[in-house]
């Protein structure tokens, strides 16, 4: 989490105010409709889930498991190639792309087993990341950050502005 949360905030911060507004709207609407932050509410937050997957795709918390994704990436197989463009997200038809997300020592669509050495805590990581974003955007409308590469692991992130939520 020491690596994951700063990385998540870094990429959400870099995405800008438009995405922040979309996240805040989705999160606040669903929380209001569901009467709180519940598992059912989290499942309805499609954009929030997509943002977590995108951050994990771009900069996995264990960076040396697989090659890093570029902002625009071409995924090749033995008979085809598929381009994932900057700004593409894992919503709607984009959910089919989850099989190309490698962040937990395996495909996102695979379950951890003793044989595949995939991270047994991957579902917890996804859950906590989504809850982190939900709680953040229940309190704030938008923010800006400055980032730098940390010497040991991940990034250092400094908030340069935080705008409190105007509506909840």
Select from 164, 148, 112 the least CA-distant residue to 7: 148
Number of domains in the chain: 1
45-82: per-residue pLDDT in tens?
Answer: 999 998 998 888 788 776 555 444 556 666 666 666 76
pLDDT (0 to 100) of residue 164: 96
pLDDT, averaged per 10 consecutive residues of the chain (168 residues), comes to 88 94 97 96 94 84 55 65 63 65 67 73 87 97 91 82 89
Q: How far is CA 103 from the centre of its chain?
A: 11
pLDDT (0 to 100) of residue 128: 94
For residue 4, give both structure tokens: 């994951």
Give CA separation, 128 vs 72, 88, 90, 135, in Å: 27, 23, 18, 10
pLDDT (0 to 100) of residue 67: 47
pLDDT (0 to 100) of residue 22: 96
pLDDT (0 to 100) of residue 68: 47
pLDDT (0 to 100) of residue 129: 94
Q: Which domain holds residue 143?
A: 4-164
């Amino acid at each position: 989490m020491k690596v994951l949360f700063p990385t998540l905030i870094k990429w959400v911060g870099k995405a800008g105010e438009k995405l922040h507004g979309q996240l805040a709207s989705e999160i606040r609407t669903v929380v209001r409709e569901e009467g709180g932050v519940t598992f059912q509410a989290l499942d309805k937050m499609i954009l929030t889930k997509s943002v977590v997957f995108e951050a994990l795709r771009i900069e996995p918390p264990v960076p040396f498991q697989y090659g890093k994704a570029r902002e625009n990436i071409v995924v090749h197989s033995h008979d085809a190639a598929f381009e994932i463009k900057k700004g593409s997200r894992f919503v709607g038809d984009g959910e089919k792309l989850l099989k190309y997300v490698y962040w937990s020592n395996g495909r996102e669509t695979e379950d951890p087993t003793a044989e595949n050495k995939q991270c047994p805590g991957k579902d917890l990581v996804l859950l906590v990341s989504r809850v982190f974003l939900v709680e953040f955007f229940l309190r704030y409308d938008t923010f800006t950050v400055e980032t730098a590469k940390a010497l040991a692991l991940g990034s250092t992130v400094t908030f340069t502005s935080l705008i409190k939520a105007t509506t909840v």
